[in-house]
Amino acid sequence: EEPRREEPRREEPRREERREEPRREEDRSGRREEERSSRREEERKREEPKRSRSEEEEHRKREEERRRNLEAERKAKEEDMRRREEELQRKRDEKRRREDDERKKVEEERRKQREADERRRRDEVDRRRKEELERNQALIAQRAQEQAKAAAQQATKKEEEAAALRQQKATLSVLRVLQKLSNATPETFDQLDVELNSVLQNELPHTSGVQQEILRQEAQRVRDYAKQYVDKVSEQQKAIENERLEQQRKLEQSEKTARTLIQELGLLVTKAEEAAQKTQTVAAPFNTEEELEEKEVVRVALLAEQAGKSAIVACSACADFLMQKRPGMEEAEHIREEVTTALSGLQPRIQEAAQRASEALQVAGMKKEAISQKVIVGMRERELQAQLAAIDKDRDGYISREEIRDFAQTEYNFEIPEENLNRICRQLIQPGMPGVRFEKFQMLKTAIGIAREEARCCAKRRVRLERERRGGG
């Protein structure tokens, strides 16, 4: 931390020195200028014929000096800008580190809270178990005292006294095992259960009938309680282990998914680059000085547009894939730096491929726009003339009523009704003319299309009315 505090103090004199440097440079330049002026004056007095040449030389030197000064100022500004950018980058890195530290702190607090909750739960279970055991021990001790008191009253009988002592010993043995069993863990439960069975088999028969039944019930209750507690602890341990394994599995799966997505994106980027390169290759004839024929220009332009569209689609697929799959790539926190590095390398490639394809498309579009309209208009005109020649069977330059009927039947497979035919002839054929003029051919096609649509609507309406009539009947 001390070097970091010292860094601004060392940086301040440097900034002051850099600010003073232009002024010192200007002072030096002024002194040099005065010296040059005096030398020029003396030189002018000595060599008047050479004055103009000296003035030009001096002017050139002043210009060079001014350019050097400007270059020095520019470099100083660039250096200052570079330092500012480094400071901003350092602040961004510091902010990112603080966010990571805060996230880790929150996760640590959550983990500690879970551990504290688990400890409180275990303490509560232990407290309840101890209270239950104390009550049982108090009850058993009370009953044992009562039995001992009864045995003391019959102290005169040695056999009864010996039996009472043996009964008490057996009871204590059972109670000792029950106390150990009440504190059983998943690791010691089986061993303590075997020990309890052995004590019940060897010691329990030496107790009295009532005490024997009480101890048997108590043993069963403690065993069930211990078994339930051990099973619960085992399930909790198993759940904790399963949760840990699941988290590890999800982490591995997220890393695998991220790497797979990066590989898929890399393949898409490679395909986009190949498509862009193909577009440039197809459009390469436009970059030569050789003059192409009109048909060749149109053919190359169409091929370039097709290849360019494929390249643009490939680049868009890369961008869409990156937008949709980026959250899945960044889920793997342990390889986030690797993912960021890979994406930083792939994104410029996508942009470059898109730019190359766009440039090739632009060149092809410009070339095509220059001559394609003329070629296409000519082709359409020839096609229209051929179509009109096929319709105008009598070669009079007009499309007569019968020729309209034949054209609708041949071109649209539509037998035009008389009513529609009359309306078309009335609207498109001028009085005194034998038919529709070629200039109105497009209007004729539109009118036939409208008539065909009206006929279809009438047919549908008849079918609907017939269906309704049948349904109503």
What's the pLDDT score for residue 220?
A: 77
d(CA 374, CA 353): 32
Neighbour count for residue 151 (Cβ, 10 Å): 19
Band (pLDDT 50/70/90 cuts) for residue 146 is: confident
Mean pLDDT of 164-178: 73
Question: pLDDT digits over 104-137, tens only?
Answer: 888 888 888 888 888 888 888 888 888 888 888 8
Residue 163 has pLDDT above 70, yes or no: no
Band (pLDDT 50/70/90 cuts) for residue 376 is: low
What is the rounded average pLDDT for all residues in the chain? 77
- Candidate from 296-310, 367-381, 389-403 with smallest mean pLDDT: 367-381
Asked whether the beta carbons of 403 and 435 are under 8 A apart, the reply is yes
Mean pLDDT of 446-461: 86
Band (pLDDT 50/70/90 cuts) for residue 372 is: low
Which one is predicted more confidently, 6 or 462? 462
Band (pLDDT 50/70/90 cuts) for residue 61 is: confident
Asked whether the beta carbons of 40 and 58 are under 8 A apart, the reply is yes
Partner residues linked to 399 by β-bridges? 436
Residue 152 has pLDDT above 70, yes or no: no
What's the pLDDT score for residue 215?
A: 73
Question: pLDDT digits over 244-270, tens only?
Answer: 777 777 777 777 877 787 788 788 888
What's the pLDDT score for residue 191?
A: 78
Q: Residue 438: name the closest of 376, 378, 391, 405 by CA.
A: 391
Residue 7 has pLDDT above 70, yes or no: no
Which one is predicted more confidently, 116 or 215? 116
Mean pLDDT of 293-320: 75
Quote the percentage of the chain above a pLDDT of 90: 0
What is the 3-state secondary structure of the chain? CHHHHHHHHHHHHHHHHHHHHHHHHHHHHHHHHHHHHHHHHHHHHHCCCCHHHHHHHHHHHHHHHHHHHHHHHHHHHHHHHHHHHHHHHHHHHHHHHHHHHHHHHHHHHHHHHHHHHHHHHHHHHHHHHHHHHHHHHHHHHHHHHHHHHHHHHCCCCHHHHHHHHHHHHHHHHHHHHHHHHHCCCCCCHHHHHHHHHHHHHHCHHHCCHHHHHHHHHHHHHHHHHHHHHHHHHHHHHHHHHHHHHHHHHHHHHHHHHHHHHHHHHHHHHHHHHHHHHHHHHHCHHHHCCCCCCHHHHHHHHHHHHHHHHHHHHHHHHHHHHHHHHHHHHHCCHHHHHHHHHHHHHHHHHHHHHHHHHHHHHHHHHHHHHHHHHHHHHHHHHHHHHHHHHHHCCCCCCEECHHHHHHHHHHHHCCCCCHHHHHHHHHHHCCCCCCCEEHHHHHHHHHHHHHHHHHHHHHHHHHHHHHHHHHHHC
What's the pLDDT score for residue 103?
A: 87
What's the pLDDT score for residue 168?
A: 74
pTM over 0.95: no
Mean pLDDT of 6-16: 63
CA 111, chain centre distance (Å): 28
Asked whether the beta carbons of 173 and 180 are under 8 A apart, the reply is no
Angle at 236 between CA 230 and CA 239, to 5 degrees: 140
Mean pLDDT of 9-28: 71
What's the pLDDT score for residue 136?
A: 82
Question: pLDDT digits over 187-210, tens only?
Answer: 777 777 777 777 777 776 666 677
d(CA 440, CA 455): 23
Which one is predicted more confidently, 120 or 399? 120
